[in-house]
Amino acid sequence: MANNGTIQVGVIGAGRIGKIHAENLATRIPVVAAAAVADIDLSAAQELAARLHIPRACSDYRAILADPDIQAVAICSSTDTHARIIVEAAQAGKHIFCEKPIDHDLAKIDAALAAVKQAGVKLQIGFNRRFDPNFRKVREMVAEGKIGQPHILRITSRDPAPPPASYVKVSGGIFLDMTIHDFDMARYLIGDVREVYTAGAVLVDPEIGAAGDIDTAIITLTFENGAIGTIDNSRKAVYGYDQRVEVFGSGGMVTALNRTPDTHLYSNPEGVHSAKPLYFFLERYSESFLAEMQEFIQSIQHDTTPPVTGEDGRAPVLIGMAAKKSYLEKRPVSIREISH
Ligand SMILES: NC(=O)c1ccc[n+]([C@@H]2O[C@H](COP(=O)([O-])OP(=O)(O)OC[C@H]3O[C@@H](n4cnc5c(N)ncnc54)[C@H](O)[C@@H]3O)[C@@H](O)[C@H]2O)c1
């Protein structure tokens, strides 16, 4: 911590999500100073730093790790870099916020978590949807017993438009790239998952199939506490980003609906019309990106456990692997088959 109590944070990766976190760190969290941005594309780092008046831009993240004045890093680079940078950042004594997923490989995840434990630094994983006020309310109501014993979870999670095939090829597949947020949401709302059963198809874009992935899926979940649930995913919902959850239980039901830019209803002879959902994750989850970073910083300030731990980062990767195995083998797969 600097003498004036400011926590200096370095941002690694100046792409889509790095821009969001850099802006929140630089302009919306008073106790933080965004001290540096690193990107292998130096011009991307320079552009972002200049826009947000961040004093330093570099192409090698190790310059950030070597700076003794920087206490924490936000790892926003491509997924294949996360595990390695976590290990190096932990060894350099930096607290770590890392985007999801930690990695696609369990051995690499375990090595990263071991390095964090050994160094005694904080690690928070970027499952931002937990910080969305609507989903948080659902979780609180479930935890308070307002719906009695949870019986059924439904998560609808559909993107407005598919990513390019080039992205799909290195994404780790739909379960580790997209559904991973829903697996985390399922754990957040109900608890640990025991078994999954997946149906999947290529219905949106044959290019996604050619890249070895699917674009449409339904995953049935069985939880350790006996509740059951479904997640349904599509890479393309023509009416926009469809993000809803519902928990039904012995004493009632709680639902979080889509958010729209405004709540007007226009009625005419053709029908009753309202605004489409907020377009995509940058718009829909902007509050949650800020809230997750604020809570990460608070965990450093108060020396508390971050709200989304390394274990919380590992668990949905296991579920994603089980979901893929279930799809390929056309049978229910226990999470224990993956972890042992
Ligand atoms: N939480 C969310 O909702 C959410 C949303 C989008 C992306 N993500 C995650 O964030 C990560 C980045 O995704 P994105 O969409 O911003 O990708 P992106 O391609 O827009 O940006 C990644 C950036 O990382 C840089 N980079 C790559 N290797 C680097 C290295 N060794 N050092 C420094 N910079 C490096 C690239 O040059 C690029 O600018 C991914 O892991 C993705 O899964 C999370």
Share of the chain above pLDDT 70, in %: 99
Q: Are residues 273 and 208 in the same domain?
A: yes
Q: For 281-307, what is the mean pLDDT? A: 97
Q: Read off the pLDDT band of 340 (50, 70, 90).
A: low
Domain boundary among 104, 121, 138: 121
Strand 271-274 and strand 265-268: pairing? Answer: antiparallel
Chain centroid to CA 112: how far?
A: 18
Ligand 1 lined by 275 (C-beta under 6 Å): no
Domain annotation covers residue 299: no
Provide the H-helix boundaries in the chain.
16-27, 42-52, 62-65, 79-91, 106-119, 133-143, 165-170, 174-177, 179-189, 206-210, 281-284, 286-301, 310-329, 335-339
Domain count, the chain: 2
pLDDT at 4: 72
Domain, as residue range, for 115: 7-121
Q: For 102-130, what is the mean pLDDT? A: 98
Share of the chain above pLDDT 90, in %: 96
Domain annotation covers residue 294: no
Domain annotation covers residue 38: yes
Q: Are residues 108 and 21 in the same domain?
A: yes
- Please give the distance, rounded to the nearest whole angstrom, from the Cα atom of residue 78 to the centre of ligand 1: 4
pLDDT at 339: 72
Q: Read off the pLDDT band of 311 (50, 70, 90).
A: very high
Q: Read off the pLDDT band of 123 (50, 70, 90).
A: very high
Ligand 1 lined by 39 (C-beta under 6 Å): yes
Q: Are residues 155 and 193 in the same domain?
A: yes
pLDDT at 301: 97
- Mean model confidence pLDDT for the chain: 96
Domain annotation covers residue 47: yes
Q: For 160-178, what is the mean pLDDT? A: 92
The pTM of this model reads 0.96
Domain annotation covers residue 291: no
Residue of the CA atom closest to atom 21 of ligand 1? 15
Domain annotation covers residue 88: yes
Q: Read off the pLDDT band of 1 (50, 70, 90).
A: low
Strand 32-38 and strand 56-58: pairing? Answer: parallel
Domain boundary among 121, 139, 160: 121
Asked if pLDDT for residue 191 goes beyond 70, the answer is: yes
pLDDT tens, residue by residue, 44-76 = 999 999 999 999 999 999 999 999 999 999 999
pLDDT at 90: 98
Q: Are residues 98 and 222 in the same domain?
A: no
Asked if pLDDT for residue 289 goes beyond 70, the answer is: yes
Test site for ligand 1: of 42, 56, 78, most ligand atoms within 8 A of the Cβ: 78
